[in-house]
Structure 1
């Protein structure tokens, strides 16, 4: 409270002076004069101006979708620690995944708990956001006069600890370069909260007791919810399939979804499918999903990439050339021709930069858009011959490992001939292909990656690798009978075999295709492959190949119910194989013959053939 007197010394009713600042809501802070009458000048003697509690947080996003799980985690952490210790929470994840939106949404829910202020600092550029500078900003915001703030960083930190010790404060600290940049800024009150957003997990803060919440991309439902918020529920409902494809093309990344929605909204007279088609056909999706530096998937990923060490940037580019999704440390080592220890260290740096996710023990994957960014980075920075060498090492590792797994699953199966050259680098095998079950599980887990490798081999000038990779996948096809995948892979392998003039491989692949098409009920395509294989092997005088093609014809007859014709074919196959001394193959054909005879209700004959198969 202060008092005022007239400047001319005449007596008047004593006036009450109150600190007042009036805001738009009608609240008054700072100096105000209440007096019945004023004669002459008035001298006001006040202390320091009292400021309202700072509310520095940016406004929460109006379009925020499907983060209930993370919000519940945050609520639980705050409820557990509030009032006992200062709470520190690190939100870590890929750039553009919505860490800031999540933090602001949570802090807006809790605003009443932090009556003494909400402070904000963007720490993206350490040179411009030194702890001493940020401390000065915080202290001034809490009412400490500028001339009373120490110049020395340590003294500022001590004053900050004192000022914050008994206040209910919430802080949002964005994109720090390290844990050390954050520690000095943390308030000391047990009723305080600091939320830190970072691409990196900031293990130093975790060691100090901070909690880590990983923020992932939105799932399909969350992506559609965000699109509804941007484009309207009616439009998304009316264009359900394009909306779902758009969500998939954006990989559930909120930044990408927001930009894509903005493109769609800017062309209201075009169907949503136009945006989807444009994005699908784009040579570089990231360029389309970028509007400016503040809303750019490309720029965000560039910043993360440029923060890597040169060796880590090299493995990032190399892994951008991997087919499919998901890989192991052994493949990473092959890609850059190094040892496992070095590969693990470099993968850890990519993990810390949130450019990579570890989704299982020793299993890693890129977000789809990050994978695309890594591939474009390789195209931009690496010579064509270097990229080709990297891709060949990756494909040969897949072949080496797939053949090892296939041999474990079916050790007696006849493989196409292949020799790894002495110049090939040493390939490290995964530890989990040592027995039948684990080797089969590896083939199943890597099925899509192996199929993608087949598709990439021939365009890279490696048709032999396409043929051999498809062949190595056969134990999986035989056991799981995934005819659709077998057809997709073997159609590519067939083109590669025909291009190289490899007749034996061509006929082997035709045999597999015939059985796969028959398994799908496509008799016409199956018959076409069988007939061509029979002609080719007959003209070449390849008795073993002819027997194999004839067996495929017999199996096709069984599938179409022509059991008598199947019996005749199987009997001819058995005779050819017996003449060639192929006892194992003969035994398998006898089993097929026995099965056909059982279906013909000729059990006694079937038993005879099955007994012979055991010899």
Structure 2
């Protein structure tokens, strides 16, 4: 018999996947058995079959038919077919690279090679006697920060009442099976509002999760927020527009990169996108981009490498992504049978069967939109004595001629929302309207209480009522959100049922609550930071959402976009003091998390607000802290302009401490720009100013920068003197982080001065402090100094170890520094040219 080609086998496999089995699948099984039973050349079929089978989703029709058809065929080709049967039945997770394992026992060789892929503990044996015990290695109690955090699994959960969509899910399965190995798969699922795009994609991605072992990312691009004609943040007849607006690629890339362990994200979009592609180049990862508005919003978010999957949902078709190889899958409304099933999930099958005609009318009036059906069923479920006929008549009376499909379903949803809204209690309806005014992505019971000016206890009941009515989504512990259309409806009801003064009061109450909460976090995280007075129109006594430092920083970071939205609203509403105070209170967020884009934008708004308010002290505060952000983001010339303005303002006000701050900033900027001669006079004057007003910590910080300059010009003894004084002062004022920085530099200076052993010991002490505090940036810097010191001392083993550890940290904090460290490792065999401080900064 002639050899069987890979194409012949794959044709049968394709038919097994794309066709429903006839009866018990006998025909498919017979065809495949006949082909595999033929005399084949070794390797002519096996690799292609394995590759296609391994790519199939674990619960797809392909695997089910494959397992059935190959059971009989395995008898004729055991080496190939037995492995395929195991693959089809076990649903393994393919790895990025295949591994070969070889062992021997009693003269018998055991080999796993070809496309075999192993995961976790694996046993291979010829004969087994007795029991087999498999032990997994324990998880370290304190994993090194150099390693990436746990694999992100960010997909939204799928509601239990999911119904229908078998055809759509099968079509997505086929796309994944047929995906070329040389390129990633980009799918755009589009359709009208409320049609269930997000739920469908979430359902499918959960079902194929094992195919993407490196993570599943999720981002809401907010593509249909703030698309009207009014400026963001204005208070109008329809309430404030969504201040956050559509998500920018910068915002989402920062979110994704941090989820993958990147600590220091570049400020520039091009750099962020490049880093994102580099980090994901070798990963099998799925990315869901929800609620996209334009192709341009999506394109920078596409990961690198050929093994990824990106699924985009949008109300628009996004045909512009066709040039990126996108596959388009429009999603229509549910058919009547699936719609009736979804309604029955919510109200009970007996109830729908008892009023089948009325149930079908409700389904028709909801036009197959899952959102409208869920809202209608929630109303019926909450009123078990109400008939379906009553609801059907109400929807028909309110809707009039059905024009749902012509306007993307908004009329049907509005009718269902109005029906749900009118039966709310007065307190729940009031909360619904006021939450609709807020420019926040998510909210909790404290936000709800602030919006209504009540206690947390008084807000819990109305919020629970909104959740039960499916008007608010409960997406986590004490975290809720609106669906886009529900938010628009709530805002519309606020415009109709709340006075203008009530709408303004709601915004200011929540704005003041944010200010109080952010200020409490600032006082906890940076107690030594000078805090300007706060002004509250509506003081809040609500409980704080955190109880320790870690919780305070996590809350700030998690609510940073909400915070920025209120900064913009306060500025647009003329609440200038509130605007700059919100920016001032967010200092620990900017300092610790370094979201450069938000840091700079916030201070630009805060500076303008402080100037409008005529508060010169606040103006200098905005200039100084904003300039630090500009310098950290690499915009050194802009930072110098801000510091020069601050210096003039401080001298005009006679504020010596602020004068010292501006001079120190100018010196640090000049040092970072390589203008060392210009840096020293600024720093010297800063020290003099701070000594005159008794600000010893500032004196020490300027001495650290002077010590760095001394090292850069190869004057280690002078550097030792600066760092020693700075360390002693910072220890006295109880600043452990900056004490460790001074200690690290002191150790490096002593090595450069010929004292290798004591200098290396001090570097080790500083490294221990940074490791305990989790400061990856300064761990990497200190390891770099240790490696350089060891290289100069001739200890190449220690130098390689320190550089390698520094490289691992730099890869998640600074791509540019990581490239520099690779160059250092490659040049270790070359003789050292002398002490070097390349790349060491005081930031």
TM-score range, shorter chain: 0.5 to 0.7
Q: Determine if the alignment matches structure 1 residue 198 to structure 2 residue 313.
A: no
Structure 1 residues 69 and 539, CA gap change in structure 2 (3 angstroms) = closer
Q: Which secondary structure state, in structure 1, belongs to the residue aligned with residue 471 of structure 2?
A: coil
Q: Mean alpha-carbon deviation: is it higher for 467-476 or for 347-356?
A: 347-356
Give the corresponding residue for 2:684. 571
Structure 1 residues 101 and 458, CA gap change in structure 2 (3 angstroms) = same
Structure 1 residues 375 and 68, CA gap change in structure 2 (3 angstroms) = closer
Give the corresponding residue for 1:522. 635
Give the corresponding residue for 1:404. 520
Q: Which secondary structure state, in structure 2, belongs to the residue aligned with residue 571 of structure 1?
A: helix
C-alpha deviation, 1:262, in angstroms:
5.5
C-alpha deviation, 1:557, in angstroms:
0.8
User: How far apart, in 1, do the equivalents of 2:687 and 2:604 lie?
Assistant: 29
Give the corresponding residue for 2:539. 424
Structure 1 residues 71 and 599, CA gap change in structure 2 (3 angstroms) = closer
Give the corresponding residue for 2:430. 314
C-alpha deviation, 1:577, in angstroms:
0.6
Q: Determine if the alignment matches structure 1 residue 533 to structure 2 residue 709.
A: no
C-alpha deviation, 1:104, in angstroms:
5.0
Pick aligned residue for 1:590 from 703, 706, 723: 703
User: How far apart, in 2, do the equivalents of 1:72 and 1:576 lie?
Assistant: 61
Deviations along 1:439-495, one digit per CA (max 9) or x if unpaired, are: 111111111111111111122231111111001111111122222111111111111
What runs of 5+ residues in structure 2 fail to find an aligned partner? Answer: 1-162, 169-190, 208-314, 316-329, 364-371, 385-402, 730-843
User: How far apart, in 2, do the equivalents of 1:611 and 1:120 lie?
Assistant: 72
C-alpha deviation, 1:378, in angstroms:
1.8
**Conserved 8 A contact 2:670-2:678:** yes
**Conserved 8 A contact 1:563-1:600:** no
Deviations along 1:555-611, one digit per CA (max 9) or x if unpaired, are: 211221112322221221111111101123323333333334333433332332232
User: How far apart, in 2, do the equivalents of 1:392 and 1:173 lie?
Assistant: 44
User: How far apart, in 2, do the equivalents of 1:133 and 1:328 lie?
Assistant: 35
Structure 1 residues 106 and 370, CA gap change in structure 2 (3 angstroms) = closer
Q: Mean alpha-carbon deviation: is it higher for 330-339 or for 366-375?
A: 366-375
Structure 1 residues 555 and 369, CA gap change in structure 2 (3 angstroms) = farther
Which structure has greater strand proportion?
1
Q: Determine if the alignment matches structure 1 residue 558 to structure 2 residue 688.
A: no
C-alpha deviation, 1:360, in angstroms:
2.2
User: How far apart, in 2, do the equivalents of 1:349 and 1:368 lie?
Assistant: 19
TM-score w.r.t. structure 1 length? 0.55
Pick aligned residue for 2:581 from 455, 458, 468: 468
User: How far apart, in 2, do the equivalents of 1:70 and 1:328 lie?
Assistant: 26
Q: Which has the larger radius of gyration?
A: 1
Deviations along 1:232-261, one digit per CA (max 9) or x if unpaired, are: xxxxxxxxxxxxxxxxxxxxxxxxxxx999
Q: Which secondary structure state, in structure 2, belongs to the residue aligned with residue 335 of structure 1?
A: helix
Give the corresponding residue for 1:135. 354
C-alpha deviation, 1:413, in angstroms:
0.9
Structure 1 residues 438 and 594, CA gap change in structure 2 (3 angstroms) = farther
C-alpha deviation, 1:300, in angstroms:
4.0
Give the corresponding residue for 2:503. 387
What are the residue-to-residue correspondences of 1:20-419 with 2, within 5 Å?
Answer: 67=200, 70=203, 101=333, 135=354, 198-199=374-375, 293-294=411-412, 297-418=413-534
Deviations along 1:343-392, one digit per CA (max 9) or x if unpaired, are: 12211111122221222211112223332332332222111222222211
Deviations along 1:18-61, one digit per CA (max 9) or x if unpaired, are: xxxxxxxxxxxxxxxxxxxxxxxxxxxxxxxxxxxxxxx99999
Deviations along 1:390-438, one digit per CA (max 9) or x if unpaired, are: 21110111011101111111111111122557x73422211x2x22211
Give the corresponding residue for 1:220. none
Deviations along 1:496-522, one digit per CA (max 9) or x if unpaired, are: 111011111111111222222223333
What runs of 5+ residues in structure 1 fail to find an aligned partner? Answer: 1-56, 75-96, 108-117, 142-170, 176-195, 209-258, 264-288
Give the corresponding residue for 2:318. none
User: How far apart, in 2, do the equivalents of 1:526 and 1:73 lie?
Assistant: 47
Q: Mean alpha-carbon deviation: is it higher for 492-501 or for 530-539?
A: 530-539
Superposition CA RMSD, Å: 4.4
